[in-house]
Amino acid sequence: MNQKLEKFKQIIAEVTDLGRAEALLGWDQQVNMPKGGAEDRGNILETIAGISHKKFTSSETGELLEDLKLYAETLDPKSDDACLIKRMAHDYEKRTKVPSKWVEEFAKVTTISQGVWEEAKSENKFTLFQPHLEKVMELRREYADFFKPYDHVYDPLLDDFEPGLKTREVQDIFGKLRPQQVELLKAIAAKPMIDDSFLHISYADQGQWDFGVDVITRFGYDWNRGRQDKSVHPFTTGFGIGDIRITTRFDPDRAASALFSTMHEAGHAMYEQGVSETLRRTPLANGASMAVHESQSRMWENLVGRSKVFWKFFYPRLVKIFPQQLGNVSMENFYKGINKVEPSLIRVEADEATYNLHVMLRLELEIALLEGTLKVKDLPEAWNTRMKEYLGVVPPNDREGVLQDVHWSGGMIGYFPTYALGNLVSAQLWEKINQDIPNLESQIEQGKFDELLGWLHTKIHCHGAKFEPQTLVKEVTGSIITPEPYMRYLKSKYSEIYNL
């Protein structure tokens, strides 16, 4: 059996290598590739995706898995080998239902679609992107159909990002969360508006970059195994435990954009930098799910980066870099400014009290597109209508509306709910962390993050993708994903800021 296990691991290592090569080309596409390279890049990714899919779904892999599933039952269920076999059996069952031809076409279509989305966003022309999104949605419906019968057409896509989670479960969670967030928003809206005008003036890009680098270096981001670049949409990608890269972006109208996107992406990156070396060159050298991944990025961005104790240490440093902009702004006013609650157009710039509503809107639209109750051509109007209903604002153009996110161009349908779920998980973990590290706030106030990062490495990061998200969250916090800790966090924070 050891021989079969080693053979299986070799196949999985090669498939993992091919996936890392795809990721490297994807990183280059968003950071360095000239505009004219989209079609050629699409051809390359189509070829690699096809080779990877055929290798993983081969009869040899299937036969090895059949033998190894019985062997796994004799192992400790939490062992690396048992978890690898279980996870690969799940993935094999899914991927063998998807034809190689579909995988190749999807890789090419989404590569070209992403380039067109960038152009459409830049020119504010949804009609440029529309035919490409129609093709993407057609392919995603085809993908879901490979898994019939299903409880819901969205389930197979959601499972790609949240293994084991069902659409009904997400809808139930959001159904409990939404009225509580709306109630909080109404209470805040009745209070005087916070002045954050100092954030909407010019801040030099280099100063923002340098400050962000200083912050995440102190967090524990390992620059020997990472780097930061600029991109249209901030993201994190990895080519192995030893190479986890992040990007950020600069918005001339939003001074805090680069800083918080840098902290956010560093949270993702530190997760994968903390994966156990024993999982190297396997698909387990990743996050448990995108919600758990988001819990890490949102934790560092918001629970740490938007906290008062954080700025007690870092604000004097920021003022030194930007004395003209912040010299007359007190730390208290700065803290309130970066936590201002105001319904806004852009999801990635949304405050914590409104962010989840942006996500819920996208989930409803994705489900409607898949079910066929909404046509792509009608998406801008549907988007604007829901923005008015959910947040009371209407985008003046599609660039700030339906075209703002990159996800649909890449076919990442099923991804958006993980952002809100990640918020909930971050608060669940935060309550447990504060129980285990009673003086955490004092450490943060001194600019010390070693114990926090060490806790995360030990409890979350080292396990990689060994466990399903609900299993991991329950193991660490004692409960599956629930909105209560997040609402406690929001109510406590904003009651102080807005004197509720």
Instruction: Write out the catalytic residue numbers.
Output: 265
Distance between CA atoms of residues 124 and 150, nearest Å: 37
Q: What are phi and psi of 244, to 5 degrees?
A: -120, 115
Instruction: Quickly list DSSP for 376-444.
Output: GGGHHHHHHHHHHHHHS---SSSTTTTTS-SGGGGT-TT-THHHHHHHHHHHHHHHHHHHH-TTHHHHH
Q: What's the angle, vertex CA 398, arms to CA 397 and CA 404, rounded to 5?
A: 125
Element (H, E) at 247: strand 244-248
* Amino acid at site 95: R
Closest among 363, 13, 433 to 157, alpha carbons compared: 363
Considering all CA atoms of the chain, what is the largest pairwise distance in Å, rounded to the nearest integer?
A: 70
b/e per residue 317-352 (b: at least 16 CB within 10 A): ebbebbeebbeebebeebbbbbbbbbbbbebbbbbb
Distance between CA atoms of residues 264 and 169, nearest Å: 26
In the numeric block, which tokens belong to residue 30?
């968003």
Distance between CA atoms of residues 208 and 192, nearest Å: 29
Using a 10 angstrom Cβ sphere, with 0-12 exposed, 13-18 middle and 19 or more buried, the burial of residue 59 is exposed
Q: In what order do the strands lie in the sheet with 228-230?
A: 228-230, 244-248, 236-238
Distance between CA atoms of residues 496 and 109, nearest Å: 49
Whole-angstrom CA distances from 156 to 57, 356, 419, 432, 464 are 18, 22, 18, 32, 22
b/e per residue 10-43 (b: at least 16 CB within 10 A): ebbeebbebbbbbbbebbebbeebeeeebeebbe
Distance between CA atoms of residues 421 and 176, nearest Å: 12
Reply yes or no: is the peptide bond before residue 316 cis, omega within 30 of 0: no
Contact call for residues 365 and 390 (beta carbons, < 8 A): no
Distance between CA atoms of residues 285 and 463, nearest Å: 8
Contact call for residues 107 and 33 (beta carbons, < 8 A): no
